[in-house]
Amino acid sequence: MTAKVYLAGDMLPKASQLLRAQEREQIKAIGLDFYNPMDNKDINDKSKVSNEGLAERIVKADTDAIIESNIVVIEPQPFALGTMVELGQIKGMKDLAKMILDLVDSGKHKDDALKALFAILDIVEKVNNQVVFPHYEDVRRFEGAGKDEEGDRRSLGINQYVYGVCLDLTNGKGFYEWDEVLEELEKIKKDPSLLG
């Protein structure tokens, strides 16, 4: 199995563009195939792209890339609205994939269900087995930061719904540090069977 990474995160401010570019280069150095929405000139080069139907083309290109990827590296910062939608979309697709796989496994209405589901089973299994590595690059998260903070004087508060989705997508891990993401990607490059 060939590993393909979907790289998601804010890409509008210059600093975010630089971070996504750095992440892209580090993933490329590992030797993994990837899709970085920021690099898709067909939808992002505003000097050459018509605004007519642009939103629909962006959604199609990025959604197709999410489905085709078996690894998602995502930084769901609260100001990154598109990334938050991607995170919810990934969670929804994985929940639906699990429901369909559970239906097939349960044997209820087996003949009808199997006939209807064989056509989409490959996509469902790919999405269900997709590995997600959420990371959160904020200096206030690091060890020792804010340990004496409480109440309204806290310097960082991560939205608990977003964190809950990240916990669900990572089987309880939550956020990865960037070095951990790179280590996991290296392991997958060496042994693609880790993808399931």
Q: Where are the domains positioned within the chain?
A: 4-84+131-195
**Which of these, 168, 179, 167, lies nearest to 142 by C-alpha position?**
179
Q: Looking at the domain 4-84+131-195, which fold is it?
A: Rossmann fold (3.40.50)
Q: Which of 18-32, 115-129, 156-170 has the least mean pLDDT?
A: 115-129
Q: Which residue has the higher pLDDT, 116 or 189?
A: 189
Give the pLDDT confidence score for residue 154 in this predicted structure. Answer: 67
Q: What does the pLDDT average to over 95-108?
A: 76
Q: What's the chain's average pLDDT?
A: 85
How many angstroms separate the CA atoms of 171 and 168, rounded? 5
**Six-digit token pair at 150?**
């409480």
Q: What is the pLDDT of residue 156?
A: 73
Cβ(34)–Cβ(7) below 8 Å: yes
- Confidence band, pLDDT 50/70/90 cuts, at residue 127: confident
Distance, CA of 55 to CA of 44 (rounded, Å):
11
Question: Given the structure tokens 């069977």, which residue do they identify?
Answer: 193
Instruction: Give the predicted TM-score (pTM) of the model.
Output: 0.77
More confident of the two residues 161 and 154: 161
d(CA 109, CA 25): 48
What does DSSP assign to residue 175? P
Provide the edge-to-edge strand list for the sheet that holds 4-9.
Answer: 33-35, 4-9, 71-75, 131-134
**Cα end-to-end span (Å), the chain:** 9
